[in-house]
A = this chain, B = another copy of it.
Amino acid sequence: MRLLVANANTTQAITELCADAARAVAAPGTQIVPATPRFGPAVIASRAENAIASHGVLTLLAEHAGQVDAVLLAVSHDTALEAARQLMPCPVVGMTEAACFAACLVGVRFGLVTFGGVETYRERIALHGLSSRLASLVGVDATPQETVRDPEGVARKVQEGIARAVAEGSDAVILGGAALAGMAPRLQPASPVPLLDGIAAGVKLLEMLVALKLPKPSAGSLKAPSGRESVGLDDALARMLRGGSG
């Protein structure tokens, strides 16, 4: 199967980072196809950028529709997730969504540790319906840059964040955001509960969904659009709204 690792940021380095993490857990038959939008924010760090990026990532997906068997949204905001799920003929999973659902399978309540602000995570988890499973949201005071400059110091801060999440009732902890993506294997040995990585969980959930061979719905709120007109959109995307393949 071909699994699209679709970034919603336009920074290709992040795409590569996520694609590498995806390859590390992919089953032998799973081919990772990295993809980066041609337009949009370099790195999504605000509500405005996230909303803008919806268009870019859906344009990107439309270009791959019919040529991939599954889509992982490799962006911590699960940008345009439900829209992508409606648009695409194949399964779509978001990396934070994946981490949350995997966390629920190994913990009664879970925590999430990330760099900086936690509000959008709180909202995304509420949208997934999982607020009652959330024990702790910890924003570590560190920047991606600091990760390069002082990896030990940052690791220590994240480890403290994990400890706080456990103290607040977490049976499992999600490391949220691309900046923390590579850290799980390194921090796991010293952590008392399972650490979840959205890319890893997402790849495996998509392998599951493909294996289950669930059909595209022809009714309900995720039925593919058809007969919809538009102005100024890329060909592939406009075609999909009209009901053609991408």
Whether A222 and B132, one on each chain, are in contact in the complex, defined by CB atoms closer than 8 angstroms, is no
Whether B204 and A208, one on each chain, are in contact in the complex, defined by CB atoms closer than 8 angstroms, is: yes
Q: Taking each of A106, A188, A229, which has the highest tally of chain B beta carbons within 10 Å of its own beta carbon?
A: A106
A96 at the interface (CB under 8 A from B): no
Q: In chain A between 135 and 164, which residues have their CB closer than 8 angstroms to a CB of chain B?
A: none
Q: Interface residues, chain A, CB within 8 Å of chain B?
A: 10, 25, 27, 38-43, 45-52, 54-56, 58, 80, 82-87, 91, 93, 97, 101-102, 104-109, 117-120, 122-123, 126-133, 166, 169-172, 188, 192-196, 200-201, 204-205, 207-209, 211-212, 214-215, 217-222, 225, 228-233, 237, 240-241
Sampled A-B contacts (28; CB under 8 Å): A40-B230, A41-B230, A43-B229, A48-B83, A48-B87, A48-B241, A50-B83, A51-B80, A52-B58, A52-B230, A54-B55, A97-B105, A101-B101, A104-B128, A106-B209, A107-B217, A107-B220, A108-B221, A117-B221, A129-B130, A171-B221, A172-B214, A192-B220, A194-B214, A196-B214, A201-B208, A201-B212, A208-B208
- Given contacts A117-B221, A129-B130, A129-B132, 13 further A-B pairs with CB under 8 A are A27-B211, A43-B229, A48-B241, A50-B83, A51-B83, A52-B237, A91-B105, A106-B214, A166-B219, A169-B221, A171-B222, A195-B214, A208-B208
